[in-house]
Amino acid sequence: MRSARRDGSMTFRGSACADVTITEKIVTAKHLEGYDGSGRFLDSAAEDAVPLAEKCMPVFEKSSPVAVSAMELFHYHQSPGAFTRLVPPWQRVETVSVTGGLHDGGIRVMRIRLGPFFLTWVAEHHNVDSGLGFRDVQLKGPFRRWDHQHLFKDHQNGALLVDRVDFLPPPGFPKPMAMMEKLFGFRHRRTCRDLERHAAHAHLRPDRVIFAGKPGRLADSLAAFLSVGGTEVYLLQPQRLTSGRERYVMRPFFGGEPCHPLDGADAVIHTGAPYEGEDANDYLAFLCRALPTLGNPPRLLLHLQGHRPDIERYTRDPVLEPGLAKPIADPGRDARQEWLEQLETCFERVVRLHFGDRVRAPFPALINLLLRLETFLFLAGGAKSPNFRWISGEDTLGAVLHVLCHDSLEGDIAAVAPQPSTRADLQEILVKRGLFSYTFNRMLKVLPWAKPGRPPGLDPALDGMMSLASTGYRFVSPNLAEAVADELGDPPSEN
């Protein structure tokens, strides 16, 4: 719903805590010497210099009340993981380099995918004022103009998060204002939720965690999520010496010089994946040697997905080898298991989080999950629509934070939603969103390169473990349909 104001602007009513205001202003980022960033010109000469076609472009503005201080909002945006957290799931954006951080003159270089093309987007920070806000100005990118003001204002019971963007899209850009509404609606919901979840653990959250093992998408997402809550995040990395031997160094997860934060860290999060180009057990041996020598070693070892060596090691060719229930023989399994058991003795507390199937964005990842379920069931001759255990991407992050902050949790925990779902339920949800994509991919599911494996959500061992729900965790998305909608960035239902 929208209502007109006397000044000609329009306010779009979104969620209960947010308004979107679109105002006609005469602005341009191409003439910053005569523009003060608020929609007004400092002198008439600067206004006259603006091409007529750019004089009536809209200014997009969205505001949301947040139950934290303006300074906390600023620190959220200042954290190294904030950019990753605020990229919506329907966009493919990656950071190429960051220079200067969130300071005047700081520059972020990004690659953004638009259709079949990758474009470079370069933005520079201006007017950085601690606790009050900052501006991002496009130096190079897909827009003809992009001047984004982040404003943090004191507000009753907290602060007001305001995003004001003066922009000029490229010619032919479809529905630019609808795009902005969707983009910043997602960003504000994500910011509010992140701050709310971290505030609930403010006095319990870890100060420093170390990721060990090759990072993947889950580790990247976790590092960003923990970072915006104020946790220092580091990564154990191999570094080849001139002698040819490997040694390991700690680096800030989002880039920086090697340091030595293992002593004094709160937890080690084990990704379970060995580093490429080295013995699969070398980093485990390194930790087993290093931890006993520390004066203040980390107390918690958190295994992601449980990391039992026999899980998900199934045949890769469903046409030639239909016996998917038989694990592949792994000669290094016993040695790895021994190192894992030795590593666990170095910690006071050990938790093995066994995730169900992760329901996560982007949309192709959801399609792939459905195809994995169908392929495995088709080749294994199982029931056509059995229950499978699942967990949303956001609840995956929340589960890790929950474990990090509750010292009473130990052992094996099934990180799954309270209620299982069926393949048919997932199929119905996804077909409504993308019939062609699903149908086209479905034709390829029994080809030799399908590589199905058993989906984690079909592991019967999950039913015998302590459930995440029984530990007091509050789910963001306990319902499958809500989880899919939330992961794809849809606004919450009004019902």
Residues of the chain with CATH 3.40.50: 208-487
Mean pLDDT of 428-439: 69
Quote the CA–CA distance of 64 and 46 in Å, as a whole number. Answer: 32
CA distance 320 to 157: 64
Average pLDDT score over residue span 483-493:
86
pLDDT at 241 over 80: no
What DSSP character marks residue 343? H
Q: How far is Cα of residue 401 from the mean position of the Cα atoms in its chain?
A: 14
Q: Which residue has 């060990």 as its token pair?
A: 212
pLDDT digits (tens, 9 = 90+) for 75-88: 999 999 999 999 99
Q: Is the pLDDT of residue 240 over 50?
A: yes
Element (H, E) at 164: strand 158-168
Query: How high is the pLDDT of residue 243?
Result: 57
Amino acid letter, residue 348: E
Q: For the full predicted model, state whether its pTM sits above 0.75.
A: yes
Q: Measured between alpha carbons, how far is 222 from 397 in angstroms, rounded to an integer?
A: 6
Quick one: angle between helices 480-487 and 393-405, nearest 10? 100
Q: Which tokens sit at 39? A: 């929609």
Question: Looking at this protein, which amino acid is placed at residue 388?
Answer: F
Q: How crowded is residue 46: how many other Cβ atoms within 10 Å of its Cβ?
A: 16
- Measured from the Cβ of residue 328, the count of other Cβ atoms closer than 10 Å reads 11
Which element (helix H / strand E) includes 476? Answer: none
* Amino acid in position 121: W
Name the pLDDT band for 345 (thresholds 50, 70, 90). Answer: very high
Interatomic CA distance for residues 92 and 426, integer angstroms: 24
First-to-final CA distance of the chain:
16
Q: Name the one residue in this structure whose structure tokens are 């969103």.
A: 433
- Evaluate the omega torsion of the peptide bond into residue 88 and state whether it is cis, within 30 degrees of 0: no
pLDDT (tens digit per residue) in 363-410: 778 877 887 787 777 666 555 567 899 999 999 999 999 999 999 999
Q: What φ, ψ does residue 460 adopt, rounded to 5°?
A: -65, -20
Between the alpha carbon of residue 429 and those of residues 362, 372, 441, 485, the distances in Å are 14, 16, 16, 9
From residue 311, give the alpha-carbon distance in Å to each of 28, 160, 281, 330, 462. 56, 47, 17, 11, 12
Alpha carbons 310 and 378: distance in angstroms, whole number: 22
Instruction: Choose the most confident range, by mean pLDDT, from 6-20, 265-279, 430-444.
Output: 265-279
Sole residue written with tokens 């270089």:
109
Q: Quick check: 383 and 423 in contact, CB under 8 A? A: no
Band of pLDDT at residue 344, cut at 50, 70 and 90: very high
Q: Which residue has the higher pLDDT, 253 or 383?
A: 253
Fold for 208-487, please state it: Rossmann fold (3.40.50)
* pLDDT, tens digit (0-9, with 9 covering 90-100), for 15-51: 334 444 433 333 333 333 333 444 443 344 444 554 5
Res. 346: pLDDT tops 80: yes
Q: Find, among 399, 391, 341, 340, the residue nearest to 369 by Cα.
A: 391
Where does residue 343 fall: left (phi above 0), alpha (psi -120 to 50 degrees), or beta otherwise? alpha
- As a whole number of angstroms, the distance between CA 415 and CA 466 comes to 9
Helix axis angle, 435-442 to 363-380, nearest 10°: 40
Domain with CATH 3.30.530.20 in the chain: 2-199
* pLDDT average, residue stretch 88-105: 90
Token pair listed for 208: 């420093």
User: Residue 166 has what pLDDT?
Assistant: 94
**Over the chain, what is the mean pLDDT?**
79
Higher pLDDT pick, 200 / 273: 200
Domain 2-199 listed as CATH 3.40.50.720: no
